[in-house]
Amino acid sequence: MTLFLTESEVASLVSVPELVDALEQAFRDKAAGLAANVPRGRAALPGGTVLHVMSAAWGPGGVTGLKAYTTSREGGRFVVLLYDERGRLVALLQADTLGQRRTGAATGLATRYLAREDARTVAVIGAGWQARTQLEAVCAVRPIQRAWVFSRTAERRERFAQEMSQHLGLPVLPVASAEEAVRAADVVCTITTARDPVVLGRWLPPGVHVNAAGSNWAHRRELDAEAVARAHRVVVDDLPQARVECGDLIQAAAEGVFEWDRAAELGDVVAGKVQGRASPQEVTLFCSQGIALEDVVAARLVYERARARGVGRQLDLGLDRP
C-alpha cells in the first residue's frame, strides 16, 4: 500500500525549523558518502511545458525517492515518490508546499553555518510564495530583529511585509529598491525569477551572508559577477548540479571572476571538512539549486509523522504483487 498525502496534509506535518535540523543531518551524511544526489533532468515541449525530474538516496534514512514536476504557463505541479529500503513505494506526496519549506530550510541551514553569529537584519529580494520560508528559516537560526523586502511590485512587497510581520512578530518593512534593503542587511536572500542580476556586488556590506535561491537555470542569475567575486567563501548544495544549473556561478566563471575550485559543498561545511566563515568581515555566499536529497529527507519526515498520526489515504496501486 502507498500512503497518499495532499498539500494541506503535508503542511500540517512539518515546519521549516524542523526541516533545518533534518537537513543538517542529511548533509552531514552526504559529506560522509552516505547519501547520493542525482541532478535535475529536464524535457521540454515546443510550447514551453517542461518536465523536471530529480532523485536521491539517503542511506541512514533507508529511503530513496524522486521529485517530478511540470512547469508551464499554468504554473507548476509537484509530486514526490518515496521508496523504502526494499524498493516499495510507501508514499506519494503532493509537493509544492514541501518544496517551498525544504528550500527555505536549506537557506536556514546555510545561514546557520555561514552568517555571523550576531546577524540581526535580513533583506529579502522577492516577495512570492518561496520568499516566506526564506525569511522564516533565517529567523529560525539567528535572532533577527528587523527585515526589509523588495519586489518589483509595490503591492506585493507591502502585502508580504504585513503578513510576515504578523507571522514572525518582528518589523518587516517594504522598501523602494533592492539596494536600500541590501546595504542595511547582515543576511541577504534572493528568491526571484529574474534573468538578470537583482543584487550588485558594490551594494554588499562587509560581513554579509548572501543566500541566492531563486535561479536553477544556467542562463539566469540573481547576482552580478562582482557579488560572486567579493565572496570569500562560496558554498553550493551539490557541485555536479551547480555546474550545470547555477547561473550565478556559471556566468561569473564565464566572465573570468570565479573558478569552480573555490566552491565547496554545504555538506562539507556542515561536517567540518571545509571552513565556512573565517572572520566577521568576510562576505559569504550560498547558491541554492534545490536538490532531490532535500525532498527525500523532507518526504521521509512527513511520511513517518503521517503514519504516527493516522494522516493520509492508503492507495492500493498493485505494485507489491508478484
Q: What is the pLDDT of residue 318?
A: 86
Q: Is 50 helix (H, G, I), strand (E, B) or coil?
A: strand
Average pLDDT for residues 259-278, to the nearest whole number?
97
Average pLDDT for residues 260-289, to the nearest whole number?
97
Average pLDDT for residues 252-263, to the nearest whole number?
97
Q: What is the pLDDT of residue 95?
A: 98
d(Cα 114, Cα 108) in Å, to the nearest integer? 10
Average pLDDT for residues 293-302, to the nearest whole number?
98
Q: 320 pLDDT band (50/70/90 cuts)?
A: confident
**Contacts (Cβ under 8 Å, ≥6 apart) of 74:** none
Q: Which domains does the chain have, with CATH numbers?
A: 2-99+293-315 (3.30.1780.10), 116-291 (3.40.50.720)
Average pLDDT for residues 304-313, to the nearest whole number?
98
Q: Is residue 51 pLDDT above 80, yes or no?
A: yes
Q: What is the pLDDT of residue 321?
A: 67
Question: How many beta carbons lie within 10 A of that of residue 62, not counting itself?
Answer: 12
pLDDT tens per residue across span 97-129: 999 999 999 999 999 999 999 999 999 999 999
pLDDT tens per residue across span 190-245: 999 999 999 999 999 999 999 999 999 999 999 999 999 999 999 999 999 999 99
Q: What is the pLDDT of residue 271?
A: 98
Q: What is the pLDDT of residue 46?
A: 95
- Cell numbers describing residue 50: 517542461
Q: 8 pLDDT band (50/70/90 cuts)?
A: very high
Q: 322 pLDDT band (50/70/90 cuts)?
A: low
d(Cα 222, Cα 197) in Å, to the nearest integer? 4
Work out the angle at residue 186's Cα, subtended by the Cα atoms of residues 185 and 192, and round it to the nearest 5 degrees.
60
What kind and span of H or E run contains 131? helix 131-141
The terminus-to-terminus CA distance of the chain in angstroms comes to: 14
Q: Is residue 171 pLDDT above 90, yes or no?
A: yes
User: What percent of the chain has a predicted confidence (pLDDT) above 90?
Assistant: 98
Please give the single-letter amino acid code of residue 285: L
The residue behind cell 528550500 is 103
The residue behind cell 511590485 is 153
d(Cα 161, Cα 114) in Å, to the nearest integer? 25
Q: What is the pLDDT of residue 94?
A: 98
Q: What is the pLDDT of residue 319?
A: 86
Average pLDDT for residues 55-59, to the nearest whole number?
98
Q: Are 92 and 4 in contact (CB under 8 A)?
A: yes
